[in-house]
């Protein structure tokens, strides 16, 4: 569908569902916008379309000061894809280029730098470095507009090597200096806070409250809390610990972050977005699933339902293994004991360290991080808590993560990850599919052996797997609709 005439029809209709999927550059003004920009629609002859903000910036266009196209939700194309470009974009969003450079990005993908650059230029119109700069600018703007960090600290936190480099990139992309951006937002510089509040935008419709309720119902004491409205948890981030409190709001999810190191802002935001599936394309998912007589009433009842992800892939492996054939309540108790025995103590400064007045500090009730692979790699399986076979599976998965034979990160090859999971004794098809659904963000993952799904559909595992073929490539969303309908009593 994505020919230029279709794109022009989208911008004429100001359709916000397509924000983030492409940008519109106007040659007469030198500005690029999101599809739903409220400004007058430019003449077709003056418009060029680009697949990303980085591509528009590379072509010499500046960001619109009215619609802020860089603040749009991420493209679902890169979220769900399994090709090299999609995997690369997910890694760039997680801050890999800032931490490891383009060489590190290529190494994680298993290709040469030259090949990765060629693929990204062909697919997104920009090199890995240009995409990383656009990523840095997005988070720099967030810090300028929502915190009182000095500009020099913002540059460092966003991943720029110097203030001069930041200033040059800002002038090119925004036609404004960082200080001018801050003044327009009404902010002033002061000692840097460690807590900040952000809006995580998404496409409508979005049943964000139900997604939070799903993860909240599985909250593990010590590392997570859920009060029926706000879900809070700890995170292990590249440069230190962090916490986040998430709450559904109109048109976005409110995120209150506390970070030990503000350089982790980009990674923390990316992980929160994956946790709540905020870059999904609900229109495409709902349209496809509504063709099923079984799913149509469920989609109509809850449009825009998302598939919860994970902030830590290894954590999701442990959850899946512990949750084999036990209740949610039983799994929570066991996992809570694991966090108490093996989880690290959280270290995140709060309001006393200079946070803005009125900005929440570390959420109450979360003081420990989920156990790391290092902590569980050599646990004596005879210690109890779970059957010895499950302890051996957990430790084997931890060792596979540590030696690199199991990659569940944002740039992972999903087929290889499934194979690596299934090679671990104690991990079967249900566990591998559940991990693929949650940790890998695979939109087509489907644990057909799940007893709740079978009961909800009124089918045995074989018949359910056969019926689910018609739901591709959105079987994970079908599973969420069935699970949610059972939980809410809409399916007895």
Catalytic annotation, pick one of 4, 19, 33, 227: 33
Residues 6+ apart with CB under 8 A from 127: 58, 117, 120, 121
Supply 280's token pair.
């999904």
User: How many Cβ atoms from other residues are within 10 Å of residue 302's Cβ?
Assistant: 18
Sheet holding 62-63, edge to edge: 47-50, 23-26, 31-33, 62-63
Does 450 participate in catalysis according to the annotation? yes
Helix intervals (H) in 290-409 = 296-301, 313-322, 328-342, 373-376, 388-403
Give 334-345 as a DSSP string: HHHHHHHHHPPB
Q: State how far the Cα of 60 lies from the Cα of 46, in Å rounded to an integer.
A: 15
444 is catalytic: no
366 DSSP 8-state letter: B
Task: For tokens 């599919």, name the residue.
Answer: 433
Residues 6 or more apart in contact with residue 83 via CB below 8 angstroms = 123
Helix (H) and strand (E) counts in the chain: 23, 9
Q: Is 227:253 a contact under the CB 8 Å cutoff?
A: no
The torsion defined by the Cα of 270, 315, 110 and 132, in degrees rounded to 10, comes to 10
Q: Distance between CA atoms of 472 and 445, rounded to whole angstroms?
A: 9
DSSP for residue 459? -
In 44-83, which residue ranges form alpha helices assigned H by DSSP? 53-58, 76-80
Residues 70, 264, 442, 450: which is the catalytic one? 450
The catalytic site residues sit at: 33, 450
């Amino acid at each position: 569908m994505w020919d230029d005439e279709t794109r022009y029809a989208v911008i004429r209709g100001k359709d916000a569902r397509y924000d983030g999927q492409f940008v519109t550059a106007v040659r007469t003004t030198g500005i690029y916008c999101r599809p739903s920009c409220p400004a007058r629609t430019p003449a077709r002859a003056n418009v060029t379309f680009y697949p990303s903000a980085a591509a528009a910036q590379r072509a010499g266009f500046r960001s619109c000061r009215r619609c802020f196209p860089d603040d749009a939700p991420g493209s679902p194309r890169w979220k769900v894809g399994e090709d090299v470009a999609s995997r690369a974009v997910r890694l760039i969003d997680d801050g890999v280029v800032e931490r490891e450079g383009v060489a590190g990005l290529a190494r994680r993908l298993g290709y040469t730098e030259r090949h990765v650059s060629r693929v990204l230029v062909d697919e997104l119109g920009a090199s890995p470095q240009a995409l990383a700069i656009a990523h840095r600018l997005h988070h720099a703007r967030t810090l300028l507009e929502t915190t009182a960090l000095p500009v020099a600290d913002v540059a460092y936190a966003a991943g720029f090597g110097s203030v001069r480099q930041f200033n040059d990139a800002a002038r090119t992309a925004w036609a404004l200096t960082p200080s001018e951006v801050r003044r327009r937002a009404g902010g002033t510089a002061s000692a840097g806070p460690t807590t900040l509040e952000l809006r995580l935008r998404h496409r409508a419709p979005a049943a964000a409250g139900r997604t939070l309720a799903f993860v909240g119902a599985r909250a593990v004491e010590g590392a997570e809390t859920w009060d029926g409205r706000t879900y809070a948890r700890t995170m292990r981030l590249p440069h230190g610990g962090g916490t986040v409190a998430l709450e559904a709001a109109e048109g976005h999810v409110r995120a209150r972050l506390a970070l030990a190191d503000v350089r982790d802002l980009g990674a923390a935001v990316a992980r929160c977005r994956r946790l709540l599936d905020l870059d999904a394309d609900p229109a495409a998912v709902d349209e496809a699933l509504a063709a099923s007589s079984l799913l149509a009433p469920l989609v109509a009842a809850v449009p825009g339902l998302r598939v919860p992800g994970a902030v830590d892939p290894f954590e999701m492996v442990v959850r899946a293994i512990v949750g084999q054939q036990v209740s949610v309540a039983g799994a929570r108790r066991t996992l809570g004991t694991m966090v108490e025995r093996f989880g690290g103590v959280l270290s995140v400064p709060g309001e006393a360290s200079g946070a803005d007045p009125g900005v929440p500090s570390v959420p109450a009730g979360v003081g420990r991080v989920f156990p790391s692979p290092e902590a569980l790699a050599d646990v004596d399986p005879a210690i109890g808590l779970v059957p010895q076979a499950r302890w051996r599976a957990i430790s084997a998965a931890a060792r596979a993560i540590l030696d690199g034979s199991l990659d569940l990160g944002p740039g992972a090859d999903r087929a290889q990850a499934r194979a690596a999971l299934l090679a671990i004794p104690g991990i079967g098809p249900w566990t591998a599919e559940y991990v693929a659904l949650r940790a890998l963000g695979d939109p087509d993952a489907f644990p057909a052996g799940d007893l709740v799904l079978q009961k909800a559909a009124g089918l045995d595992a074989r018949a359910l797997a056969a019926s689910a073929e018609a739901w591709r490539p959105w079987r994970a969303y079908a599973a969420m609709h069935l699970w949610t309908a059972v939980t809410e009593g809409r399916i007895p």
